[in-house]
Amino acid sequence: MRPLVLGAGAVGLGLASALLSAGQRVQLVARGETRGALRSHGLRRTGILGEAHHGPDTFDVVGRPAEASAVDAVLVCMKTFATAEAARLLAEATDRIEKDAPIVLCQNGWGNAEQLTPPFPLERVFCASVLTGFRRPDRTTSDITVQAAPIRMGSLSGASSAPLAGVCAAIAAGGIPCETTDEMAAELWAKILYNGCLNPLGAILDVPYGSLAEGAETRARMDRIAHEIFAVMHAAGYATHWADADAWLAHFYDVLIPPTRAHESSMLQDIRAGRRTEIESLTGAVVALAREHAVDAPENERLLAAVRTAEESAVRTRAARRTAR
C-alpha cells in the first residue's frame, strides 16, 4: 500500500504509526513546526496499545497532498471544521491519487462525506467510527489513552467495504484494532450518541468521562441528550444497533464508560488550549436535523449554546495572551 494520512494531529499520528508498524510506506501531510519536528525526530506512539517509534527515514512528510507521490488510500484526519479545506487540498492532488483509491474520513460528527463531492464520487468516500482516545502530548507523539471498540470503516452510500480491507488489516496489524463494516450509518450514529452525551458536558464542566456518569445531575442530562438524539435520528430516517435510547443507555453505562472513564475529550482539550472545537458537526448537526424535522431537542440546544460560548471565550483569551507577548 501507499497510504496518505492528511492531518498530523493525535489521530493522524496514531494511525500513521500503526500503518508504519505494519510495514507500509506512509506519506504524512503536516504543517509548520510539526512538519519540521517529524522530519527531524520521526513519530512515536505510546499508551495502552503499546509503544512504537518510527525514525524520520521510514516515512515521508509533505506540506500538501499535491506534493505526494502516488497514493492508493487516503485517511483524512483533520478536524471536521477543516473538511472543506481537506476537500480542496485533495482536489489539487487528483493526479497523485489513484482513481479507485478509497478516501476515509476519520472524523467526528455527521455530514462530512458530502463535502468531498465533487471531485470525488460518494462511493469512493468512506467514514470511520473511532471510539479510541488519542491525545498529542507533543508534536511527534500520539498517546492512546482508552479504547471502547475497534475502529470501524465503511460507506454511507451503500458502496462495498471491500476497498477498505487492506487499510483495516494494516492498521490492525500495526496494533490498533480496526475492521470494516457494512453498517456505517448505524456505527456513526452510535458514535454521535457516545460523543454527544460526553464531549460537550465534559468540555463545559472540565471533567473526564467517568465523572459525568457518577454525578446524578450529569447522568440525568446525558439520559435526556440520548433520548433527544434517538428522536432526531429516527425522524431523519436513520437507526443504530439499539432499538431505543434506554437500550443504548444500558450499554453506554455498563460497557462503554468503564474502559474510558479517565478520558478527557478532544473538545475539552481544545477549549483548554483556546482552539476551535468540533461542536458544530456533532451537537450542531443534531440540532440542525432536529429543526429540519420539527423535533424538540432543548438539552442539545442548551449544550450547543454553552460550548459555543466557552469556545469563543477560550479563543479570545488565547488571542489576548498572544497579543500581550
> Quick one: pLDDT band at residue 323, thresholds 50, 70, 90?
confident
Whichever domain contains 304, its CATH number is 1.10.1040.10
Residues 208, 155, single domain; the answer is: no
Q: Which of 137, 160, 182 is the C-terminal boundary of a domain? A: 182
Choose among 30, 27, 8, 20: nearest CA to 70. Answer: 27
> Quick one: pLDDT band at residue 250, thresholds 50, 70, 90?
very high
Helix axes 216-235, 298-324, angle to 10 degrees: 110
How far apart (Å, rounded) are the C-alpha atoms in residues 325 and 93? 39
- Max alpha carbon distance in the chain (Å)? 55
Query: Virtual CA dihedral for 297, 303, 306, 312, nearest 10 degrees?
Result: -100
Whichever domain contains 50, its CATH number is 3.40.50.720
Question: Are 300 and 287 in contact, with CB atoms under 8 Å apart?
Answer: yes
Is the Cα torsion angle 64, 11, 170, 187 positive or negative in sign? negative
pLDDT digits (tens, 9 = 90+) for 104-130: 999 998 989 989 988 899 999 999 999
Percent of the chain whose pLDDT exceeds 90: 90
Choose among 237, 243, 233: nearest CA to 290. Answer: 233
Task: Kindly state the average pLDDT of the residues 79-99.
Answer: 94
Residues 273, 310, single domain; the answer is: yes
How far apart (Å, rounded) are the C-alpha atoms in residues 178 and 167? 9
**Is the pLDDT score of 321 beyond 90?**
no
Total of domains in the chain: 2
Residues 133, 227, single domain; the answer is: no
Residues 236, 263, single domain; the answer is: yes
Q: Which of 126, 159, 182 is the C-terminal boundary of a domain? A: 182
Choose among 123, 64, 70: nearest CA to 97. Answer: 70
Residues 247, 314, single domain; the answer is: yes
pLDDT digits (tens, 9 = 90+) for 34-79: 999 999 999 999 999 999 999 999 999 999 999 999 999 999 999 9
Residues 62, 153, single domain; the answer is: yes
Residue-number span of the structural domain to which 67 is assigned: 3-182
**What's the pTM?**
0.91
Q: Which of 152, 182, 212 is the C-terminal boundary of a domain? A: 182
Residues 35, 139, single domain; the answer is: yes
